[in-house]
Chains A and B, each alone.
Chain A
């Protein structure tokens, strides 16, 4: 069966520090991968998605970036975090178009 791993579960970072969140999927190949951010009590904001290695689509202009160095690995990064980057970051995957999308357990990021 397929599983998705996301880490760390929680992270506290100072303003201006760098960020790296990692997500990996097991048990499938060539998944579509997604990064979402969710502010407290709010909806799901799509940040990036990828349909293949090295292919990244950005949905929202910001100081975040994403990379897909391997088929089942998706990384969310920032060179300098802002206070507004605080939130719950969720990675998700699907087999392809119109297939069920499954989320990782998320990373709760607090910026001080």
Chain B
């Protein structure tokens, strides 16, 4: 079955700097890759997703890149702000199976 590895587990950046979180997946049939943000005590919320027919997708300060050959995808947050502090989860699925989540990255943006 699918296995998703996420790195780093914790990340601290200065306000205004960029943050990058990376995930790798094992199942070459996976074709949907969402990213979730979970603030303390709250539900995970979808922030961006990408499908395998696209190499990059951007939404304001957030972007996701996908390398199907290497089987990895990354979340990029530019001009980080304190409110970006949260736990971020990547996930992957092949369509016929439920999402498989990474273990999460705790991002701290230091003002």
Interface of A toward B, CB cutoff 8 Å: 32, 34, 42-44, 46, 49, 59, 90, 97-98, 100-106
Chain B residues proximal to chain A, CB less than 8 Å: 31-32, 34, 42-46, 49, 51, 89, 93, 95-96, 98-99, 101-104
Contacting B102 at CB < 8 Å: which of A34, A43, A106?
A43
- Number of inter-chain CB pairs below 8 Å: 42
Is there an interface contact between B43 and A103, defined as CB atoms closer than 8 Å? Answer: yes
**Which B residue sits closest to A49, measured CB to CB?**
B98
Pair A44/B44 contact, Cβ less than 8 Å: yes
Answer whether A103 and B101 are a contact pair too, CB < 8 Å, given A98-B32, A98-B93: no
Given contacts A43-B101, A43-B103, A44-B101, contact A97 B46 (CB under 8 A): no
A-B contact pairs, 23 of them (CB 8 A): A42-B103, A42-B104, A43-B89, A43-B102, A43-B104, A44-B44, A44-B101, A46-B98, A90-B43, A90-B44, A97-B32, A97-B95, A97-B96, A98-B51, A98-B93, A100-B46, A100-B49, A101-B34, A101-B46, A103-B43, A103-B45, A105-B42, A105-B43
